[in-house]
């Protein structure tokens, strides 16, 4: 019988010293020891930085929720570095086997039947656990040194912009976690694709760098999850990590635009109705009026791979400049552009 999911009243996490560690073998060993002792360590993956704790230790997993102010209805993704770790946490079907052979290590999370070693705290009471094998060498080295699978959501406060550098992690979690392994900026820039291979057609719950077009030759037909219009206060019915309605959000109000002319029109309208500082995620080659704006120079709107790499960094940069409004263009709804649009639409939901 499943144990009831603990319900926590939000509270301020007691401050602690957060050690900033390097990629040296000595620091990796230190981080691994912290994890084995039940502590929390942020570390880079190819997608974003994750906040890791021993996935087999319920008390350690609880420290993730406390540090992030994360509600317990939101499940965690478990990271592994080898097949033995995977078998500790999940049962792999033949369909899942083909997918992990094709895309692991890499930015693909598979929802698999959990083993008894995984507690309700990790899966929020669901029978499936999200598992992935990151491609980042520092993440792999940490997992191997720790010798345990790591529950690791993004290393930020719940609902905020995901971190793609160690500095971003410290903005949100300094003094709330035990350590961070600094591996520089991440390369993908948006979270992993989340796929349920247990249904036909398979359900893509969160788009990412592994796109539906890449999956279909192996997975067959893939359908994109359509979220409910409104999220209940404790949405236990949400089937997967990464499908909450409002997420990835800057402090500033985020307004999305579809074209260069739309951006210019929105600037005129926004400046006419607000006396606030305005920020712009400005693609290469796009023109804006010569006026008082805060601009983050983005990449070509036709290059979603490059856009994704600096999406969260740009939103955080404009937030840090104190803007009240951010105007952000959206790429075409195809390939990795679907993942960028997914993150932006969730970030723009009303508070």
The residue-averaged pLDDT of 63-67 equals 97
Give the least confident one: 53-67, 123-137, 234-248: 234-248
What's 249's DSSP letter?
Answer: B
The residue-averaged pLDDT of 52-70 equals 97
278 with 319: CB under 8 angstroms? no
Show the CA angle centred on residue 158, arms to residues 153 and 164, nearest 5°: 55
pLDDT greater at residue 208 or residue 289: 208
pLDDT for position 40: 98
Alpha carbons 327 and 52: distance in angstroms, whole number:
33
pLDDT for position 37: 97
pLDDT for position 145: 98
92 with 178: CB under 8 angstroms? no
The residue-averaged pLDDT of 143-154 equals 98
pLDDT exceeds cutoff 90 at 1:
no
pLDDT exceeds cutoff 70 at 12:
no
99 with 195: CB under 8 angstroms? yes
Crossing angle of helices 25-36 and 137-146, in 10° steps, is 50
pLDDT greater at residue 266 or residue 8: 266
Alpha carbons 182 and 166: distance in angstroms, whole number:
5
pLDDT exceeds cutoff 60 at 350:
no
Output b/e per residue, 108-136; b: 16+ Cβ within 10 A. Answer: bbbbbebeeebbbbbbbbbebbbbbbbbb
Q: What is the number of residues in the chain?
A: 351
pLDDT for position 248: 83
pLDDT tens across 76-87, in order?
999 999 999 999
Alpha carbons 239 and 255: distance in angstroms, whole number:
28
The residue-averaged pLDDT of 145-152 equals 98
Residue 270's pLDDT band, with cuts at 50, 70 and 90, is confident
Q: What is the mean pLDDT of the chain?
A: 91
pLDDT for position 17: 87
Distance spanning both ends of the chain, measured CA to CA: 37
Instruction: Name 210's Cβ contacts closer than 8 Å, sequence gap at least 6.
Output: 103, 106, 107, 108, 192, 193, 195
Residue 5's pLDDT band, with cuts at 50, 70 and 90, is very low
Give the least confident one: 126-135, 147-156, 239-248, 255-264: 239-248
Alpha carbons 146 and 80: distance in angstroms, whole number:
11
Residues forming a β-bridge with 196: 203
pLDDT tens across 287-346, in order?
988 778 999 999 999 999 999 999 999 999 999 999 999 999 999 999 999 999 999 999
Output b/e per residue, 21-37; b: 16+ Cβ within 10 A. Answer: bebeeebbebbbebbee
pLDDT exceeds cutoff 90 at 258:
yes
Closest to 2 (Cα-Cα) out of 148, 120, 137 = 120
pLDDT tens across 177-196, in order?
999 999 999 999 999 999 99
Closest to 283 (Cα-Cα) out of 250, 339, 327, 325 = 327
pLDDT greater at residue 228 or residue 53: 53
Residue 66's pLDDT band, with cuts at 50, 70 and 90, is very high
Which DSSP helix (H) or strand (E) runs through 66? Answer: helix 58-68
What's the distance, CA 148 to chain centroid? 21
- Give the up-direction half-sphere exposure of residue 12: CA atoms within 13 A in the CB hemisphere: 4
CA Rg value for the chain:
20
Alpha carbons 348 and 322: distance in angstroms, whole number:
17
- Give the up-direction half-sphere exposure of residue 184: CA atoms within 13 A in the CB hemisphere: 8
Strand pairing of 179-181 and 19-21?
parallel
SS3 190: coil
Closest to 31 (Cα-Cα) out of 181, 164, 210, 204 = 181
pLDDT for position 8: 46
pLDDT exceeds cutoff 90 at 226:
no
């Amino acid at each position: 019988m499943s144990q009831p999911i603990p319900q926590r009243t939000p509270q301020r996490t007691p401050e602690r010293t957060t050690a900033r560690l390097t990629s040296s073998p000595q620091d990796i060993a230190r981080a691994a020891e912290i994890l084995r002792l039940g502590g929390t360590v942020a570390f880079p993956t190819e997608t974003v930085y994750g906040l890791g704790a021993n996935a087999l230790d319920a008390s350690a997993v609880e420290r993730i929720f406390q540090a992030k102010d994360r509600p317990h209805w939101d499940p965690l993704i478990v990271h592994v570095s080898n097949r033995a770790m995977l078998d500790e946490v999940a049962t792999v079907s033949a369909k899942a086997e083909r997918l992990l052979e094709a895309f692991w290590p890499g930015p693909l999370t598979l929802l698999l039947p959990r083993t008894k070693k995984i507690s309700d705290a990790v899966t929020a009471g669901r029978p499936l656990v999200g598992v992935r094998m990151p491609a980042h060498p520092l993440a792999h080295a940490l997992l191997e040194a720790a010798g345990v699978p790591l529950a690791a959501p993004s290393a930020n406060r719940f609902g905020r912009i995901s971190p793609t550098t160690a500095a971003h992690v410290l903005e949100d979690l300094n003094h709330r976690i035990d350590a961070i392994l600094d591996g520089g900026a991440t390369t993908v820039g948006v979270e992993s694709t989340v796929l349920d291979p247990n249904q036909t057609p398979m359900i893509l719950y969160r788009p990412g760098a592994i796109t539906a077009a890449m999956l279909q030759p192996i997975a067959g037909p893939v359908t994109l999850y359509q979220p409910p219009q409104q999220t209940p206060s404790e949405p236990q019915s949400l089937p997967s990590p990464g499908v909450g309605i409002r997420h990835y959000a800057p402090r500033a109000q985020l307004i999305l635009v579809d074209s260069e002319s739309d951006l210019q029109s929105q600037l005129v309208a926004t400046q006419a109705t607000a006396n606030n500082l305005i920020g712009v995620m400005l693609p290469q080659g796009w023109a804006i009026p010569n006026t008082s704006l805060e601009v983050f120079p983005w990449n070509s709107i036709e290059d979603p791979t490059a856009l994704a790499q600096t999406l969260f960094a740009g939103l955080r940069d404009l937030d840090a400049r104190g803007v009240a409004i951010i105007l952000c263009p959206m790429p075409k709804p195809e390939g990795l552009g679907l993942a960028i649009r997914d993150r932006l639409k969730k970030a723009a939901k009303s508070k």
